[in-house]
Amino acid sequence: MLTRNFYPEKKINTFYPPQRILMGPGPSDTHPRVLSAMARPTLGHLDPVFTDMMEELKSLLRYSFQTKNLLTFPVSGPGSVGMEMCFVNMINPGDKVLVCRNGVFGSRMIENVQRCGGVAIIVDNKWGEPVDPQKVEDMLKHNPDTKIVAFVHAETSTGALSDAKTLCEIARYHDCLTIVDSVTSLGGSPLKVDEWNIDAIYSGSQKCLSCPPGLSPVSFSERTVELVKNRKGKVQSWFMDLNLLLGYWGTTRTYHHTAPTNALYALHESLFMLYEEGLEHSWARHQRNHKALKAGLETFGTKFLVDEKYRLPQLNAVYVPTGVDEKEVRRRLLVEYNLEIGAGLGDFSGKIWRFGLMGYSSKIENVMLCLGALETVLADMGLKIQPGAAEAAAHQVYANSPLTSMPAEALN
Question: How many CA within 13 A on the CB side of residue 314?
Answer: 34
Give the 3-state secondary structure of residue 399: helix
pLDDT at 210 over 60: yes
Give the 3-state secondary structure of residue 349: coil
- Read off the pLDDT of residues 266-298 as tens digits, 9 standing for 90 and up: 999 999 999 999 999 999 999 999 999 999 999
Lowest mean pLDDT among 1-10, 192-201, 299-308, 334-343: 1-10
Q: How confident is the model at residue 247 (pLDDT cuts 50, 70, 90)?
A: confident
Specify whether the CB–CB gap between 318 and 342 falls below 8 A. Answer: no
Question: For position 3, what pLDDT does the model report?
Answer: 62
Question: How many CA within 13 A on the CB side of residue 66?
Answer: 17
Q: How confident is the model at residue 410 (pLDDT cuts 50, 70, 90)?
A: very low
CA 12 to chain centroid, in Å, comes to: 34
% residues pLDDT > 90 (the chain): 86
Question: For position 4, what pLDDT does the model report?
Answer: 62
Gyration radius of the chain's alpha carbons: 22
Distance, in Å, from the CA atom of 279 to the CA atom of 276, rounded to the nearest integer, reads: 9
| Domain range summary for the chain, segments of one domain joined by + | 32-275, 278-411
Mean pLDDT of 358-385: 96
pLDDT at 252 over 90: no
Distance, in Å, from the CA atom of 375 to the CA atom of 90, rounded to the nearest integer, reads: 49
Angle at Cα 342 formed by Cα 336 and Cα 346, nearest 5°?
A: 140
Closest CA to 368 of 398, 344, 341, 342: 398
Question: For position 283, what pLDDT does the model report?
Answer: 97
Percentages helix, strand, coil for the chain, rounded to the nearest 5? 45, 15, 40
Other CB atoms closer than 10 Å to residue 316's CB: what's the count? 27
One-character DSSP codes across 75-104 = EES-HHHHHHHHHHHH--TT-EEEEEESSH
The larger pLDDT score, comparing residue 48 to residue 331, is at: 331
Give the 3-state secondary structure of residue 359: helix
Domain at 278-411: CATH code: 3.90.1150.10
* pTM of full prediction above 0.75: yes
CA 54 to chain centroid, in Å, comes to: 22
Q: Which amino acid is at 203?
A: S
Mean pLDDT of 299-309: 96
Give the 3-state secondary structure of residue 25: coil
Main-chain phi, psi angles of 325, to 5 degrees: -80, 100
Q: Which amino acid is at 19?
A: Q
Specify whether the CB–CB gap between 372 and 391 falls below 8 A. Answer: yes
CA distances from 185 to 60, 152, 250, 355 (A): 16, 10, 26, 15
Element (H or E) spanning 132, and its range? none
DSSP state of 44: -
- Per the rule left: phi > 0, alpha: psi between -120 and 50, beta: everything else, 49 is alpha
pLDDT at 72 over 50: yes
- Read off the pLDDT of residues 89-142 as tens digits, 9 standing for 90 and up: 999 999 999 999 999 999 999 999 999 999 999 999 999 999 999 999 999 999
Distance, in Å, from the CA atom of 339 to the CA atom of 358, rounded to the nearest integer, reads: 14
Mean pLDDT of 66-73: 96
Residues with Cβ within 8 Å of 195's Cβ and at least 6 positions away in sequence, in order, are 66, 165
Mean pLDDT of 362-377: 98
Residues with Cβ within 8 Å of 347's Cβ and at least 6 positions away in sequence, in order, are 127
One-character DSSP codes across 249-308 = HSSS----S---HHHHHHHHHHHHHHHHH-HHHHHHHHHHHHHHHHHHHHTTT--BSS-G
- Read off the pLDDT of residues 165-208 as tens digits, 9 standing for 90 and up: 999 999 999 999 999 999 999 999 999 999 999 999 999 999 99
pLDDT at 412 over 50: no
CATH architecture assignment, domain 32-275: 3-Layer(aba) Sandwich (3.40)
CA distances from 75 to 61, 93, 156, 388 (A): 12, 24, 20, 45
CA 234 to chain centroid, in Å, comes to: 29
State the chain's mean pLDDT as an integer: 94
